[in-house]
Amino acid sequence: MTGVLPVALEDATKIAQALLLAGKEYVCVMRIHSKVSEEKVRRIMSEFIGEIYQRPPLVSSVRRNLRKRTIYYIDNIEFQNEHILFRVGCQSGTYIRKLCFDMGEALGCGVHMAELRRTRAGPFTEDNRLVTLYDLNDAYLSWREDGDESRLREVVQPMENALSYIPKIYIRDSAVDAICHGADLALPGVLRFESGIEPRDLVGIFSEKGEIVAIGEAKMSWRKMVSLDRGLAVEISRVIMPCGTYPPMWRRRSGSSHMQGTEIKG
């Protein structure tokens, strides 16, 4: 397989799991084993759009349990003899090789994947400043030899770019250090947020300057955040920003033995 592969460096590895959950897009060439009409192929492929059941192939790094995955679209279908080219957008964790096999079973003739290229991984696409390892090596050598950081800054992106696809909640400066010390986010620390957030959504917690502080699971919808003054907004699952980046302006509630009860001054 070729194409887009995000690589996390240093502290950015903390967000790798969140990036793995993002949707993917592939361009695939599959080879059909016997003659089938284009009309039938298109009809069968359209039936795989939506929620499907899929068992990982024998050669995989996960348990072969039956699971649900979503196929968002299959389009740009082209035919050339026994080869079929198509573009597919899918939920993370979808095996395109297995998708081809299952479509072959539905066609009744057998199909296998011949080539695969990932064209999108979360917010990163082939048109979005895609670089090769050679580009990275050249930028690094330029920095080491000439002290020129400009090229290195072009090829190594801020970790915030990797989280552009998830809903964002911006918090007060007075709340940042408490979150860095493990506190869950309560509504008094929230400054503003994007609409559309629902309970259990993965959300990014950002400073007023747009720096990533943490990621977590929303515990209430954005509508409740608008209407309420108190309550737990986000349960933090991963702290990204180091402690001490912002000055501490928080205190524990009296009698509280854990950080979830943290009150925010401000």
Please say whether the dihedral angle defined by the alpha carbons of residues 183, 245, 161 and 131, taken in this order, is positive or negative. Answer: negative
- Using DSSP's 3-state secondary structure scheme, residue 166 falls into coil
Average pLDDT over residues 237-244: 92
| Same fold for the pair 23-121 and 166-264 | no
CATH of domain 23-121: 3.30.70.3190
**CA–CA distance, 37 with 40 (Å, rounded to integer):** 5
Token pair belonging to 215: 């990621």
**Domains of the chain by residue range:** 7-17+129-165, 23-121, 166-264
pTM: 0.81
Pick the CATH number of 166-264 from 3.40.50.620, 2.40.10.10, 3.30.56.10, 2.30.130.10: 2.30.130.10
Between the alpha carbon of residue 108 and those of residues 33, 53, 105, the distances in Å are: 10, 18, 5
CA 66 to chain centre: 22
Q: Identify the pLDDT of residue 251.
A: 57
pLDDT in tens, 111-169: 999 999 999 999 999 887 788 889 889 999 989 988 888 888 888 889 999 998 899 99
